[in-house]
Amino acid sequence: MKLLTPELLDAFFATLSQRWELRLPILLPDGTRIIGSLIDGRLALHGGAVSGKPTAAFFPQQSTLLSVTDGTVEETPSPPPLFIVGFTPSDLASLRFIDRFFADGWRDDLYFTLRENAAIAALSGYCGLGGALIPLAGGDCDLEFFWDRSSWLVIAYSETGKKLIEDLPDAARTEVVELLRQTTPSLPDENETVIRAASLLLRADRVPDSFWAEIGDRCIACTGCNLACPTCTCFGVQDWRSANKTERSRMWDSCQLDGFMREAGGHNPLGSEAERTRRRIHHKLAADPQKWGEISCFLCGRCDAVCPTGIGILAVAGEIVARFA
Amino acid sequence: MKRTLTVCPYCGVGCTFYLVSDGGRLVGVEPSTTSPVNRGGLCVKGWNAYAFVHHPDRLTTPLMRRDGVLQPASWNEALNLVVERLQAVQETHGKDAVMFASSAKATNEENFLLMKLARAVFGTNNIDHCARLCHSSTVTGLAETFGSGAMTNSISCFDQTDVILVIGSNTTEQHPLIGSRILNAVRNGTRLIVADNRRIRLARHAALHLRHKNGSDVALLNGMMHVIIAEGLADREFIANRTENYDALAGSVTDWTPERTAAATGLSADKIIAAARMYAGAGRAMIVYSMGITQHSHGVDNVRCIASLAMLTGNVGRLGTGVNPLRGQNNVQGGCDMGALPDLYSGYQKVSDPLMRDKFARAWGVSSLPSEPGLPLTRAMDTASEGRLHGMFIMGENPMLSDPDQGHVRKVLENLELLVVQDIFLTETAAVADIVLPAACFAEKEGTFTSTERRVQRLHKAVEPPGQARADWKIICDIAERAGYEGMRYSSPAEILDEAASLTPIYGGIIYKRLDAPGLQWPCPDQEHPGTPIMHLDRFSRGLGHFTPVSHRLPAELPDEQYPFVLTTGRTYFHWHTGSMTRRTHLLAREEPCSFIELHPDDAAMIGIRNRDMLLVSSRRGEIRTEARMTEMVIPGVLFMPFHFAEGAANALTNNVLDPESSIPEFKVCAVRLEKIP
């Protein structure tokens, strides 16, 4: 375990930037906190989960799949190696989930080209919102930065991670990490209790259609829940054609849109907001547990934060438990 | 990967987000989490606002019509020809033979410059923009009653009110981040009255849904005021201290008993009474309205009634109250504020006032400015067909699809001696132009937009314009220079806003260095002023609030045997106006790919139509083909159609009958007939 004091942060990242493209938690000019480049804002490691889909580094909102000019496919330049800091343990769970999804059956080259070229660092310790404790990640990443209220204790989980921090001094006091390593699995999480209870109720078919009609009435189809969710992976594909060029790209899609499932003949098996909202929640809490053996909501809270009408997954799960448990 | 803070280019709510770019290409958006307006959320159009910017259809070079075909030209050739031909038209037919159409999509700075170009360089007050089509009734009606034609309160007030009356606004679809606040308010106990005969989403959450007849708003509002006065629910103290002409209003609504109102509106008397009691009985009540109120041949009267209802109950000048016209376009408020209007300079200063003319003439270094108000956009087509208008310069508007009576518009535009269009795509209007100038879009330039709550916010340049496209403000400056005017040399939009602020009292303190997020709300008269979230606090802008009695007038064209249906037009959630941006955005175009018309299942059954059948819809102006969409959103006898689609264009049917005071067209009511296409 290595030690990184706050005053050495800038120098540490400056050194890394010589070999890596850095994406770090930053504070943008209006105070929005995201994972981005230091040219856009100042470093902001504290504050918990950043806004925006953290998995966007590998699955951006829009990306070019193919570009053909005068009948020749353009070569795609290799991306620079990325070093991304800012994943919470919940974000790492989401990443692990979509890694498996994008590798299952068919392998999504575009995703893995970016993913395998990146090193990932988690943030944990007392660096949550207002100094709240973020549980230890304990793996699923190359590095973990643990804030012990005075310095960052840095733990490597991969060979890449070890190399990245080999020049840092060893940490002298690591008891707090050891203590958390032992207690983290038993830390209670009310949100997890709620989401698991809602999942059971859904799988037991205890939630009536009338509930989904109520929730659907509050959906304005902004699609933000999907676009902010780190485990949502649906995308649409478009072709742009001009005189001598065709460009095929994909962009994040949303199951909250009517066109998502509409058949060419016009019929839509998910033709109402109620059905679409039901599907969104069902997918995460009922279908994914069957397919993958786990609920695919890792409680990051982003859909609840972006939803203008308060029907993010945690809010809906809470209503389900309150009314049908 | 770069993030650039900017303002959404779609509706007037004023949501801010970051454009995400990579290698000079936009790849997404991220909402601002600190914006007091959108608070971390966006609507579907906002989330997709990046997606049209690099579309291959973008205009990349000036075009000039040669041998009947638009062909690429250099900026030098195109700009010289614009000036030469505008001047030639004016030399032959007079200064007022040309008209400039400004744009509610363009920045404040660009609107200010185009009105300056029209007035100071080309000597005409013929400058207007699409506010004429949306809220000109508001500008006229609220200026008369309150002294200022803008939303009185702030968006945050929706969180702090007891009753919201939404009349003629499909808020969750057209101003989604305000609509969602209304939904949240209802969940927190606010009672909602929706007055709209379409069963819009908000109606599902309303304590009262009033499905009154199209065009009967004056009757409904007079009827509500009758009940309020008769039952002693009026705010006597507010009326006595803050208003004038109350007795005339009270006299005018005496006859509007619930029974008479019921007959005129098609509602039950009980509902009218319940609505009046709910609104007047609230400690704080807000009125929200939009095109359903303004786009009538009596649009100004509708607005007057709304102002009266609010004053009658003391619901102006306090938190959680007010008259809140929701402005449609991202910068339609700013377009009006900046004087892209035929009778007003920036800040609503009248061109007919010699002191104002003198002030602007001195600032602009010209000997005089024209004194007669110019042409409203909606009268331009008739004026041209009468042979009194021969050239048009249109920046960022598409009247071929957005204006009423398309057949007439097409004939006029095609017959102009000169049509110049400055836009980002080759719109239906640009396609018939003589000269087309390629412009930068919102993501490619600096400037400011003013939102519906009078909030001035900065947009920032994220990527370069395509090809040779240029920011509108630069093009306007180039034209002025070539026309021999030396007073339009600016190094940046900040300098243009400085000039506007120096001439515009309500913007007096609005300068770039004060416009870090979240911007400033006008009136902001000096650089120490913090801006004004709520207007008319202690006094109305005009002093006392003025009650104007209003008589009920029917729409100009009602159904008859030949044309038995009422057609009302509007927009869908997924498209913006004439679709030039949203129809080039994959997900939005997928949601609503084609023209359609909503009709009630009873009407469909009566004429043997099934869902998605193709229909021929005809009015006295024209006919179109469109797809039937059966829905109980509409009441029997009434059809709804969005105007986004060039194929199946709703405005081929609409009626260019105008409100006599505001010149707004009656988009909300015309008579049509339906036939199934075999």
The shortest CB-CB distance from B41 to any of A251, A252, A308 is to A308
Contact B44 A245 (CB under 8 A): no
A253 contacts in chain B (CB < 8 Å): 587
Give yes or no for a contact between B157 and B320, defined as CB atoms under 8 angstroms apart: yes
Identify the burial level of B474 via C-beta atoms within 10 angstroms of its C-beta, where 0-12 means exposed, 13-18 middle and 19 or more buried. Answer: middle
Instruction: Residue A227: name the closest of B585, B13, B40 by CA.
Output: B40
Over residues B484-493, the pLDDT tens digits come to 999 999 999 9
pLDDT of residue A185: 67
Contact A257 B180 (CB under 8 A): no
For the four alpha carbons of B645, B648, B650 and B653, in that order, the dihedral sign comes to positive
Between helices A273-282 and A313-324, what is the axis angle to 10°? 90
Structure tokens at A6: 């706050």
Report the mean per-residue pLDDT for chain B.
Answer: 97
* Strand B545-546 with B243-244, pairing: parallel
> A171 and A52, same structural domain?
yes
Structure tokens at B637: 């006898």
The shortest CB-CB distance from B33 to any of A32, A238, A309 is to A32
Nearest CA in chain A to B590: A259
Nearest CA in chain B to A216: B201
At B16, is the secondary structure helix, strand, or coil?
strand
The shortest CB-CB distance from B28 to any of A40, A61, A245 is to A61
Instruction: Residue B401: name the closest of B130, B27, B85 by CA.
Output: B130
Identify the burial level of A286 via C-beta atoms within 10 angstroms of its C-beta, where 0-12 means exposed, 13-18 middle and 19 or more buried. Answer: buried
Over residues B644-668, the pLDDT tens digits come to 999 999 999 999 999 999 999 999 9
Residue A226's φ and ψ, nearest 5 degrees, are -70, -40
Q: How far apart are CA B198 and CA B190, in angstroms?
A: 22
Q: What is the dihedral of CA A240, A246, A249, A255, to 10 degrees?
A: 50
> A145 and A222, same structural domain?
no
Identify the burial level of A266 via C-beta atoms within 10 angstroms of its C-beta, where 0-12 means exposed, 13-18 middle and 19 or more buried. Answer: exposed
Contact B179 A220 (CB under 8 A): yes
Give yes or no for a contact between B643 and B651, defined as CB atoms under 8 angstroms apart: yes
User: Is B395's pLDDT higher than 90?
Assistant: yes
Q: Is the CB of residue B61 less than 8 Å away from at least one CB of chain A? A: no
The residues that bridge with B20 in the sheet, in sequence order, are B3, B28
Q: Nearest CA to CA, how far is B399 from chain A (Å)?
A: 26
Residue B435's φ and ψ, nearest 5 degrees, are -135, 135
Among residues A137, A153, A186, the one where a domain terminates is A186
* Strand A118-125 with A82-87, pairing: parallel
Neighbour count for residue B69 (Cβ, 10 Å):
8
Contact B180 A39 (CB under 8 A): no
Q: What residues contact residue A163 under an 8 Å CB cut-off, 6+ apart?
A: none
At B539, is the secondary structure helix, strand, or coil?
coil
Contact B204 A217 (CB under 8 A): yes
B591 contacts in chain A (CB < 8 Å): 257-259
Say which amino acid occupies B12.
G
The whole-number average pLDDT for the span B25-34 is 97
B182 contacts in chain A (CB < 8 Å): none
The residues that bridge with B639 in the sheet, in sequence order, are B567
For the four alpha carbons of A25, A27, A32 and A36, in that order, the dihedral sign comes to negative
Domains contained in chain A, number? 2
Instruction: Residue A231: name the closest of A58, A66, A2 by CA.
Output: A58
pLDDT of residue A187: 67
Q: Nearest CA to CA, how far is B519 from chain A (Å)?
A: 11
Nearest CA in chain B to A227: B47
Residues comprising chain A, all counted: 325
Instruction: Residue A87: name the closest of A117, A57, A63 by CA.
Output: A57
Q: What are the CA-CA distances from residue B239 to residues B284, B629, B648 (Å)?
A: 16, 47, 49
A307 contacts in chain B (CB < 8 Å): 41
Alpha carbons within 13 A on the beta-carbon side of B637: 12
Over residues B420-475, the pLDDT tens digits come to 999 999 999 999 999 999 999 999 999 999 999 999 999 999 999 999 999 999 99
Over residues B338-378, the pLDDT tens digits come to 999 999 999 999 999 999 999 999 999 999 999 999 999 99
Structure tokens at B149: 């034609």
The residues that bridge with A235 in the sheet, in sequence order, are A252
Q: How far apart are CA A296 and CA A287, in angstroms?
A: 9
> A280 and A228, same structural domain?
yes
Q: Is the CB of residue B573 less than 8 Å away from at least one CB of chain A? A: yes
Instruction: Residue B609: name the closest of B587, B639, B579 by CA.
Output: B639
Q: Nearest CA to CA, how far is A211 from chain B (Å)?
A: 14
**Helix ranges (DSSP H) in B26-97:** 44-47, 75-93
> A39 and A171, same structural domain?
yes
Between helices B269-280 and B258-265, what is the axis angle to 10°? 110
pLDDT tens digits, chain A, 325 residues: what are they?
999 999 999 999 999 999 999 999 999 999 999 999 999 999 999 999 999 999 999 999 999 999 999 999 998 888 889 999 999 999 999 999 999 999 998 899 999 999 999 999 999 999 999 999 999 998 999 999 999 999 999 999 999 999 999 999 998 888 888 887 877 766 668 999 999 999 999 999 999 999 999 999 999 999 999 999 999 999 999 999 998 999 999 999 999 999 999 998 889 999 999 999 999 999 999 999 999 999 999 999 999 999 999 999 999 999 999 999 9
Q: How far apart are CA B73 and CA A56, in angstroms?
A: 41
Over residues B131-155, the pLDDT tens digits come to 999 999 999 999 999 999 999 999 9
pLDDT of residue A186: 65
> A72 and A84, same structural domain?
yes
Identify the burial level of B257 via C-beta atoms within 10 angstroms of its C-beta, where 0-12 means exposed, 13-18 middle and 19 or more buried. Answer: middle
Q: How far apart are CA A183 and CA A186, in angstroms?
A: 6
At A40, is the secondary structure helix, strand, or coil?
coil
> A315 and A232, same structural domain?
yes
B356-359, Cβ contacts within 8 angstroms, sequence gap of 24 or more? B359/B503
Q: Nearest CA to CA, how far is A85 from chain B (Å)?
A: 15
**Cα angle at A47 between A44 and A50, to 5 degrees?**
80
| pLDDT > 70 in chain B, percent | 100
The residues that bridge with A63 in the sheet, in sequence order, are A250
Q: Nearest CA to CA, how far is B40 from chain A (Å)?
A: 5
Q: Nearest CA to CA, how far is A108 from chain B (Å)?
A: 19
Say which amino acid occupies A89.
P
**Cα angle at B553 between B551 and B558, to 5 degrees?**
165
> A211 and A172, same structural domain?
no
> A107 and A29, same structural domain?
yes
Report B:26-55 residues touching A (Cβ under 8 A): 26-35, 38-44, 46-47, 50-51, 55
Q: Nearest CA to CA, how far is A182 from chain B (Å)?
A: 35
Q: Which pLDDT band, with edges at 50, 70 and 90, does B56 fall under?
A: very high
Structure tokens at A276: 């679409």
Q: What is the dihedral of CA B275, B156, B451, B199, to 10 degrees?
A: -30
Over residues B574-597, the pLDDT tens digits come to 999 999 999 999 999 999 999 999
Q: Render B448-502 in DSSP notation, one character per residue.
A: EEE-TTSEEEEE---SPPSTT-B-HHHHHHHHHHHTT--S---SSHHHHHHHHHH
Among residues A186, A210, A237, the one where a domain terminates is A186
pLDDT of residue A175: 83
Q: How far apart are CA B640 and CA B634, in angstroms?
A: 7
Instruction: Tokens 């939904």: give the residue.
Output: B183
Structure tokens at B194: 């929706």
> A225 and A148, same structural domain?
no
> A133 and A16, same structural domain?
yes
Report B:507-536 residues touching A (Cβ under 8 A): 516-518
The shortest CB-CB distance from B42 to any of A33, A61, A224 is to A224
Q: Nearest CA to CA, how far is A204 from chain B (Å)?
A: 28
Nearest CA in chain A to B203: A217
Q: Nearest CA to CA, how far is B42 from chain A (Å)?
A: 7
| Full set of structural domains in chain B with CATH | 2-47 (2.20.25.90), 63-130+347-513 (3.40.50.740), 139-328 (3.40.228.10), 565-676 (2.40.40.20)
Contact B47 A223 (CB under 8 A): yes
Neighbour count for residue A120 (Cβ, 10 Å):
28
Q: How far apart are CA B256 and CA B227, in angstroms?
A: 9
The shortest CB-CB distance from A238 to any of B3, B201, B586 is to B586
A61 contacts in chain B (CB < 8 Å): 20, 27-29, 50
The shortest CB-CB distance from B44 to any of A33, A222, A238 is to A222
| Residue B11 DSSP label | B
| Residue B188 DSSP label | T
**Helix ranges (DSSP H) in B313-372:** 332-337, 354-364
Q: Is the CB of residue B159 less than 8 Å away from at least one CB of chain A? A: no
Q: How far apart are CA B627 and CA B644, in angstroms?
A: 14
pLDDT of residue A181: 80
Q: How far apart are CA B45 and CA B302, in angstroms?
A: 30
Nearest CA in chain A to B46: A222
Instruction: Residue B647: name the closest of B594, B602, B599, B573 by CA.
Output: B594
Instruction: Residue B478: name the closest of B449, B510, B446, B437 by CA.
Output: B437
The whole-number average pLDDT for the span B375-404 is 96
The shortest CB-CB distance from B51 to any of A29, A36, A62 is to A62
Residue A317's φ and ψ, nearest 5 degrees, are -60, -40
Nearest CA in chain A to B36: A30
Contact A30 B34 (CB under 8 A): yes
> A286 and A211, same structural domain?
yes
> A210 and A155, same structural domain?
no
The shortest CB-CB distance from B44 to any of A33, A51, A221 is to A221
pLDDT of residue B532: 98
For the four alpha carbons of B240, B244, B246 and B248, in that order, the dihedral sign comes to positive
Q: How far apart are CA B561 and CA B552, in angstroms?
A: 24
Say which amino acid occupies B131.
A
Q: Which domain holds residue A138?
A: 2-186
At B301, is the secondary structure helix, strand, or coil?
helix
Nearest CA in chain A to B30: A52
**Cα angle at A266 between A265 and A268, to 5 degrees?**
120
The residues that bridge with B569 in the sheet, in sequence order, are B641
Report B:165-184 residues touching A (Cβ under 8 A): 172-173, 176-177, 179-181, 183-184
Among residues A152, A171, A186, the one where a domain terminates is A186
The shortest CB-CB distance from B3 to any of A36, A61, A257 is to A36
Over residues B158-212, the pLDDT tens digits come to 999 999 999 999 999 999 999 999 999 999 999 999 999 999 999 999 999 999 9
B17 contacts in chain A (CB < 8 Å): none
The shortest CB-CB distance from B40 to any of A39, A266, A306 is to A306
Q: How far apart are CA A322 and CA A144, in angstroms?
A: 37
Nearest CA in chain B to A307: B41
